[in-house]
């Protein structure tokens, strides 16, 4: 996999995730699960990207060998079609009632527990306690520091 420029840690993650999604143990994974497999390796490709690299929207249409997954992972890794810090800022600006990069803390909690990869209430409370600055008297908190801490690994 050196020809693809993948690190050992990435290769290990792909192999582990592949084994998880190889339900029959025959060395093949249904391409329907390609997105889940790649997301299990800490990438966040869009459905469009998954389809472009060979994923399928229906079960049983195509099977993938482990050798086919490495270039798919690399293509997803190189894709610019992923959410990042600036995308998240734009999303949270929708909740910025005062146009000052703040939002109501309860709205962030609701987003974390109801959208995307939903967090449990306990996980959301813990995350907000660790990463958010305190709310002001009106319940508003700055969301930029929260996102900077959340996306620190991206930079």
Question: pTM, whole model, 2 decimals?
Answer: 0.57
Q: Dihedral through CA 100, CA 105, CA 106, CA 112, nearest 10? A: 100
**pLDDT computed for residue 155 by the predictor:** 47
Those residues whose C-beta lies under 8 Å from the C-beta of residue 22, and which sit 6 or more positions away, are 28, 29
**pLDDT computed for residue 83 by the predictor:** 65
CB 73 within 8 A of CB 108: no
**pLDDT computed for residue 153 by the predictor:** 53
Residues 13, 60: Cα–Cα separation, whole Å? 24
What are the 10-residue block averages of pLDDT along the chain, 155 residues in total?
80 95 95 93 86 92 95 89 76 92 94 83 92 93 91 61
**pLDDT computed for residue 125 by the predictor:** 93
């Amino acid at each position: 996999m050196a020809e693809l420029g993948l690190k050992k840690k990435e290769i290990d993650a792909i192999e582990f995730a592949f084994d998880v999604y190889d339900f029959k143990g025959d060395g093949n994974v249904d391409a329907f699960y390609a997105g889940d497999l790649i997301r299990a390796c800490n990438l966040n490709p869009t459905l469009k990207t998954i389809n472009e690299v060979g994923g399928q929207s229906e079960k049983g249409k195509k099977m993938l060998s482990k050798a086919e997954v490495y270039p798919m992972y690399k293509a997803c890794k190189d894709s610019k079609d992923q959410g990042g810090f600036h995308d998240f800022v734009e999303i949270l600006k929708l909740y910025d009632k005062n146009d000052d990069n703040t939002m109501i803390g309860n709205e962030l909690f609701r987003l974390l527990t109801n959208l995307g990869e939903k967090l449990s209430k306990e996980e959301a409370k813990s995350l907000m306690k660790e990463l958010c600055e305190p709310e002001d008297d009106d319940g508003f908190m700055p969301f930029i520091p929260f996102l900077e801490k959340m996306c620190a690994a991206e930079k």
